[in-house]
A = this chain, B = another copy of it.
Amino acid sequence: MARPTVYDSSLRQRLLETTAELVAKEGPDRVALRDIAAAVGTSTTAVYSLFGGKPQLLTAILDDAFRSFGDSQRAAAPDGLRGLGLAYRRWALEHPAFYALMFSGPLGTRMPCEPTPEIAAASIVPLYEAVGAALAAAGSDDPVEPSVAAIWGQVHGLVSLELSGLGLPGIDWEAAYETALNRIERSYAV
């Protein structure tokens, strides 16, 4: 042993929080490691020592985001498919930068920061179970995956278009979302 360590879990936590804040404010590519380090009162070396580099730091942020998203989904699970859909949009609108980072895919961002697969997969388990329950209640023995994908794609697509600010200017996204949820309920519930 030589000198007392400063790169400990407390600093790691503060780095995560500050980075999440900055990323939420202006996106992952606009935040510089120097800014993060300065905001926390350390140097960029801390990021390399504690995480390995910027991609790994963003991966940690990404995993936290998926966990938060998964929590939100689990909390809404008792309210059925519609509850899951409403919670989905609410979470995405509250965390637009995270949502973009989570679902932009490898070509969307330059940083190779894919989430831990298990954490990402766990976040959609509630939807999986709700669709399975709905199919079972309807007496259908269709496979679950295509329906899960179709429903997930529906809500993800609408939220994604809303966040992208693209096309259909002046549209009432909430009304469009209601339309889509109604269509889903009509197709699957009962």
Instruction: Give the interface of A toward B (CB within 8 A).
Output: 27, 29-30, 96-97, 100, 102-110, 115, 117, 120-121, 124, 145-150, 152-161, 163-169, 171-173, 175-176, 178-180, 183, 186-187
- Give Cα A53–Cα B145 distance, bound, in whole angstroms: 45
- Copies of the protein in its oligomer: 2
Main secondary structure on A side of the interface with B? helix
Of B117, B121, B161, the contact of A152 (CB 8 Å cutoff): B161
Of B103, B110, B115, the contact of A160 (CB 8 Å cutoff): B103
Of B27, B121, B157, the contact of A156 (CB 8 Å cutoff): B157
Min Cβ gap A93→B in Å is 12
- Give Cα A166–Cα B149 distance, bound, in whole angstroms: 11
Q: Which B residues lie within 8 Å of A149 (CB)?
A: 158, 161, 168, 171, 173, 176, 179-180
A151, closest chain B residue (CB):
B180
A187-B183 in contact given A100-B105, A149-B168 (Cβ < 8 Å): yes
Of B145, B150, B172, the contact of A183 (CB 8 Å cutoff): B150
